[in-house]
Structure 1
Amino acid sequence: MSKENDMPIELFPGFSSVSLPTSGGDLYARVGGPVDAPALVLLHGFPQSHLCWHPLAEDLARDFRVIALDLKGYGRSAAPAGDGGRHTYAKRTMAAEVVEFMGQLGHERFSVAGHDRGAQVAYQMALGMPEHVERLAILDNLPVHAVWDLIETTPGALPHWTEMALPTPQAENALTVDAIETLVRAHTGDGTLGCFSPVAFEQYRQTWRRPRNIHAFCEDYRAGATTDREADDQDLKAGRTITCPTVIIWGAEFLGRGPETPLDCWRRTFAPDAFGVEVPKGHFVTEESPRETLIALRDLMAR
């Protein structure tokens, strides 16, 4: 384990820092809570890092061994060059790397909560490696194939999914710090950045200035437009479903405005037995609606 002197540790009091090698590069996490407690890994989404979990982490660490992890390409984890979305940033690949990381920490079975892109990694883990996943929380996202169905049937829906999947360097050149900040504002319930901790947001901005991370973000979305979509089609055709206890959490002013509830979408596809919780405000549920999100997660962990 390695301590990070320049980390804003006040956001994760009592947590340590760890960076461990995996087949896809080093992954970084903050770890806290009782060593012998049930493990809960927290996965962020684009364009954030593990810091998005800071409003919930200290409370969760009272009863669980909490591992708030930076996905490959994000935060302090490795950001290797991609391959056009084929394998390096495919969610099945990233899910396997999280399992590797957790195994090195001594956790062969654990619960996982994923927001946004982290939700895609989390559900691939639950579908393809169910022996490792005890419980699953999906925060404000839909199955990849369902997102593309929405994009293709609803003019103007989620244009960044298409724009960020454009070939290198077209997508990378367009993904400036200002462009990312504009996108973030559009996804909050009130159209402002008021829900974010200034300390956390400055850390996000630092990542957005690094070319290797910008490339990784685009590779993540290129995989979402190709390999991840194909993986969903394969799983649907094979009739694979998520069998562990699962909660779907979504923001009323983001996915809550869609043509069907996220819970209905997940139930008709991969999670027929899931339960659902709509929370106030927008897409960034851990920072916009921390209390309600925490209650939903604790409900899941009690099942």
Structure 2
Amino acid sequence: MAPTIPGFDYRRVAVADDVALHVAVAGSGSPIVLLHGFPQTHLMWRHVAADLAADHTVICPDLRGYGASDKPVDTGADTYAKRTMAADVVSLARALGHERFALAGHDRGALVAIRAGLDHPEAITHLASLDVLPTLDMWDVMHGTGAAVGFHLYLMAQPPGLPERMIHAAADVFFGHFLDVWTRDPRAIPNEIRAAYLAASRAAVPSIVADYRASAGVDVEHDRADRAAGNRLRMPVAVLQQDWGAALGFDAAARWRAWAPDLRHTTVSCGHFMAEEAPADVVKAIRDLVADL
């Protein structure tokens, strides 16, 4: 039986035609939606969610294409566009009775959260991003040998067929690679959780690849259009990031400030999976961000 977040109720919520999300909900009070990253599920929030649920309604979905949520066949650029996935999140919150909510995302979930903040500013009160740059900036800073750390971005950007076959051939090795090299403290992801991540990812190769492929195509187009129009994140934004900006030769805070005028940018000392390695730091950042709710 797959692990769950203790004390959370589980349900399926329809968010679009033929798409329902698997979601864990607990607590009461002002709502906070937490979006997971790659190659994870909502379980990555287990420590943070339990703490926040003491005085907030906490909503932890598996994103479309991940975990136990529906995985529609990729029929075009929009199926796994972050714009589509962000609309899923807004629909989910509304289905649960929340027109406005705070939103936090890690990795892929952070890209969805950023798009939700740009597309649905009337719904997002506060936004927290863990360890990514906005999509357009991510591609802007990837160059030379430093881009080797993002080899998977280029692999999954390829046309349908090759990346899916390659990853299927050694799925546990592929996904396990990131769980290993992006974690400073291996104890942060215990065996039961690791096994759940691998099983979920193994079953979702086509949709995971489609999500990444969209980030090399339609998601860039959407970001470029926003940049040209001067569209920025209107809500307070908190960013937690490793010190990889300095390592790769760019100013991460400056890049973020171009999108988020009301910005709190913090560098943290842990691996990529900070909600699991440094949950107290993540909880504090989110609580400080939403203190006026």
> Which of the five TM-score ranges fits, normalised by the shorter chain?
over 0.9
Q: 2:10 touches 2:25 (CA, 8 Å); kept in 1? A: yes
Offset of residue 255 of structure 1 = 5.0
Matched, 1:170 2:185: no
Matched, 1:216 2:210: no
| Structure 1 counterpart SS, 2:72 | coil
Offset of residue 56 of structure 1 = 1.0
What does the per-residue CA deviation read over 1:202-229, in whole Å, with 9 as the maximum and x for residues that have no partner?
111111221xx10001000110000001
Structure-1 residue corresponding to 2:279: 290
Letter of the 1:169 counterpart: G
Structure-1 residue corresponding to 2:179: 184
What does the per-residue CA deviation read over 1:179-219, in whole Å, with 9 as the maximum and x for residues that have no partner?
111123222236xx332032221111111221xx1000100
Identify unmatched segments of 5+ residues in structure 2.
none
Letter of the 2:289 counterpart: L
What does the per-residue CA deviation read over 1:70-128, in whole Å, with 9 as the maximum and x for residues that have no partner?
000011100111135x1000000110111111111001100000000101110111111
Structure-2 residue corresponding to 1:63: 55
Q: 1:263 touches 1:276 (CA, 8 Å); kept in 2? A: yes
Offset of residue 170 of structure 1 = 0.7
Letter of the 1:182 counterpart: H
1:93 equivalent among 69, 77, 84:
84
2:187 equivalent among 190, 194, 197:
194
Letter of the 1:195 counterpart: A
Letter of the 1:280 counterpart: S
Partners of 1:256 and 1:69 lie apart in 2 by 33
Matched, 1:238 2:229: yes
Query: If the length of structure 2 is used for normalisation, what is the TM-score?
Result: 0.93
Structure-1 residue corresponding to 2:23: 29
Partners of 1:68 and 1:89 lie apart in 2 by 19
Structure-2 residue corresponding to 1:127: 118
Partners of 2:265 and 2:246 lie apart in 1 by 12
Partners of 1:185 and 1:194 lie apart in 2 by 11
Partners of 2:247 and 2:283 lie apart in 1 by 22
Query: If the length of structure 1 is used for normalisation, what is the TM-score?
Result: 0.90
Letter of the 2:179 counterpart: V
Q: 1:248 touches 1:262 (CA, 8 Å); kept in 2? A: no
Structure-2 residue corresponding to 1:258: 248
Q: How does 1:11-30 map to 2 (within 5 A)?
A: 12-23=5-16, 25-30=19-24
Offset of residue 280 of structure 1 = 1.4
Offset of residue 166 of structure 1 = 1.4
Offset of residue 14 of structure 1 = 1.7
Q: 2:130 touches 2:241 (CA, 8 Å); kept in 1? A: yes
1:41 equivalent among 28, 33, 38:
33
What does the per-residue CA deviation read over 1:28-49, in whole Å, with 9 as the maximum and x for residues that have no partner?
1100002xx1000000011111
Q: What is the root-mean-square deviation of aligned Cα atoms in Å?
A: 1.6
Letter of the 1:263 counterpart: A
Q: 1:19 touches 1:29 (CA, 8 Å); kept in 2? A: yes
| Structure 2 counterpart SS, 1:74 | coil
Matched, 1:301 2:290: yes
